[in-house]
Amino acid sequence: MAKIFLISRNRTETANSFIESLETDQQPVYPHLTYEANTRNLLLIWASFLRIQPDLVYFIWEDETLNWMERALIETIGALPNQPMAVSFLGFLNPKKSKSFRTLLKRADLVTLSSRKNLADLRGISSDSKRQLRTLLAPLPSLAPLQTETDSKSNDVLSALNNKNIWVCPWDEKYVKENKGFFESTAKDKTWIFLADRSQWNFKKHQEFQDLFSNWKHKPLWSSHLNKIEILKILKESEVLLLAGQNISPHFFVDLASFASLSGVFVILDTHQIELLSGLWSVGENCSLIDHDHVAQQLENRWTSGALVPPVIKRKVRGPSFVLDQSLNDLNRWITKALSDRKQA
C-alpha cells in the first residue's frame, strides 16, 4: 500500500473522508495542515516528509489563494524531480490567479478537478509530467452523522409535504427567470420547494420574489431554515430534484447527490453534472439527462411532451456509504494509475 503524505489547509470534509476511509483500509495517510503559516510548522512538515519518505505527496486545495508556507512547500517538496505528486482542487478554478498554484498543476502526476469547466480551463496549461492524468473527482461527502434537531421555523415547509406533488430545486433567481416558461407550466401540477437562505433579504427582495410567482397556480415554498436531515426528509417525500443547468458549488452538488441516493428521489441532471459520481446515475431509472448547452429549451420541450420524467417513478434507495464508495473507488484507481505511469515513464 502506498504511503500518502497529505497537505491541506484545513481538515475539510473531503480531507477527513479521504483520511478516515483509507485508514480503514489500512493504507497509511499522514495529514499535515497549513492554516498556521509559520516557520516552525514549515520545518515540522519538512521533517515529517524526510522521515516518512512517502510514495505520494497529495495536495488538497479549495482555492488558489496560497499563503507563504503553502507556496514554499510547492516550491520545495513540489519541485523534487522523483517525487510523485497529486493535487485535488475542490473549488471554482482560476489558474491565472496564483503562479505557484499554476506551477503545481503543471508538475503533478495526477490532477483531479470538481467540474467539467475547471477541466476545460486547464487545456492551456502544459504539463511537466510525461504522463499527467487529469480527471474529474467530486468532493468526498462527509462521514459525520447528520444533524437531527428540527428547527421550529421549518415546520411550515415540512407540514406541506402531505398530499402534494413536490418538486425541489436550489434557488437561483437568474436560473428561474431563464426557465420561466418551464416553471410556470410545472407549477400547474406541482408545488416547488426552493433550497436557499433568504434571511438577509430586504422588503424589496421579498416583493420581487412574490411578483415572480404571481402567475403560478401552486405557489412555491421556501427552505431557509432547513438543516441537512430536513432536506433529506423533503427529498424522501418529493418526486423530483432539479439540478440541470444549476451553477452550484461542487460540495453542495455532492450533498444533494448523497441525499438523492438516500431518498431515491428522481434527479434531472445535465450532461456535465452526470460525469461527477457517474456510477450513481442510471438514465431513465433514477435520473433524466438534459444537454448542458440547451437546458431551457429541453426542459420545456420535454415537460410538454411528457418525456422529462417517467410516468411512474420507482424509487431506488441506496445506503449512506454508496456515494463515498463511488468516489473513493475512483480516487484509488487514479492514484494507482498515476503511480504506475510514473514508474513506467
- Mean per-residue pLDDT pooled into runs of 10, the chain (345 residues): 86 75 71 92 94 92 85 87 87 70 85 83 74 82 55 59 82 91 93 83 82 87 75 88 91 87 93 86 92 94 93 77 72 79 68
Residue 184's pLDDT is 93
The cell for 276 is 461527477
Q: What is the pLDDT of residue 222?
A: 81
Spatial CA neighbour of 299 closest among 307, 313, 284, 240: 307
> Residue 178: CB partners within 8 Å, gap ≥ 6?
296
Full-model pTM: 0.82
| 269 HSE (CA, 13 A, CB side) | 26
What confidence score (pLDDT) does residue 146 get? 55
Look up residue 259 and give its three cell numbers. Answer: 441525499
Contact 64, 87 (CB under 8 A): no
Query: Where on the phi/psi map is residue 244: left (φ > 0), alpha (ψ -120 to 50), or beta?
Result: beta
Distance CA 268, CA 265 (A): 10
pLDDT at position 22: 64
Number of residues written out for the chain: 345
Determine the pLDDT at residue 225.
62
Let me know: does 127 contact 176? Beta carbons within 8 Å: no
Q: Which of 336, 344, 345, 334 is nearest to 55 (CA)?
A: 336
Residue whose C-alpha cell is 411550515: 156
Q: Which three cell numbers stand for residue 144?
A: 459525520
Dist. CA 32–CA 70, nearest whole Å: 11
CB-based contact 243:256 (threshold 8 Å): yes
Amino acid identity of residue 100, one-letter, is: S
Name which of 24, 129, 123, 114 is nearest 330 in CA terms.
Answer: 114
Residues pairing with 168 in the sheet: 193, 241
Can you tell me the distance from the alpha carbon of 89 to that of 109, in angstroms, rounded to the nearest whole number? 14
Residues ≥6 apart with Cβ < 8 Å to 214 = none
The H-or-E segment that residue 235 falls in is helix 228-237
Would you give the distance in Å from CA 308 to the centre of its chain?
24
- DSSP class per residue in 51-103: HH--SEEEEEESSS---HHHHHHHHHGGG-TT--EEEEE-S---TTS-HHHHH
Count Cα atoms within 13 angstroms, Cβ side, for 262.
20
Domains plus CATH for the chain? 4-137 (3.40.50), 152-322 (3.40.50.2000)
Q: What distance in Å separates the CA atoms of residue 284 and residue 23, rounded to the nearest whole number? A: 37
How far apart, in whole angstroms, are the C-alpha atoms of residue 197 and residue 317? 28
